[in-house]
Amino acid sequence: MTTIAILDYGMGNRRSVEKALERVGARARITRQPDDVRAADGLIVPGVGAFPEAMRRLRDGGLDALIRERVEAGGPVLGICLGMQLLFERSVEHEGAEGLGLFGGEVTRLRTEGLRLPHIGWNLVRFQRPSPLAAGLPDACAFYHVHSFAARPTDDGDRLGVADYGETFASVVVRDPLFGVQFHPEKSSAHGLRLLENFAAICARVAA
């Protein structure tokens, strides 16, 4: 059975991600122990809250280096919501902070053209090209978003899926073995479960 570590740094709905992974047949482990993370077939970085505080917690626990280590070793890593934003170089949220720098680009406030922030609810995501992460999903399907900031990749090739809320923003980013989704797949019904199942399948293939 595929084992996926869910990084426990105190920010993010870890239990709901764990239950969603179990529903798609993966073994999930919420952990901050380096040996557990290294032994897992894949890693999920969840996240709810503010970017600077999240990065402080990752650095204080040495978890930022652990995430980079897993990516450099070719292990699949998926960032969810704030966890996706942390994969970028920096954010302007609050006082601003440096991110993990695994994707080029920064995180800035959504330009909503007067629409309410935070952006909360179901939003259609349009996939730009085929990807194992999107296998079996429609070219456009809805996922549940909760955010006020959006990542702006410097490399257009990193964008896999986009959505619109006042502006068009990157909702799914991919650069194997690194993946990120701005939405919450664990709250996104059948399509969200399929995406997590796809990530588990990617982890299984890499492990094999």
Q: Label residue 189 left, alpha or beta by phi (over 0 means left) and psi (-120 to 50 means alpha).
A: left
HSE-up of residue 106 (Cα within 13 Å, Cβ side): 9
φ/ψ of residue 87, rounded to 5: -75, -15
Tokens for 203? 């982890």
Token code pair at residue 55: 């990065």
Instruction: Write the Ramachandran bin of 10: left for phi over 0, alpha for psi from -120 to 50, otherwise beta.
Output: left
Residue 193: its H or E element: helix 189-207
Q: Which residues are catalytic?
A: 81, 184, 186
User: From the centroid of its chain, how far is CA 63?
Assistant: 16
Q: Could you tell me which residues come within 8 angstroms of residue 35 by beta carbon, excluding any fewer than 6 positions away?
A: none
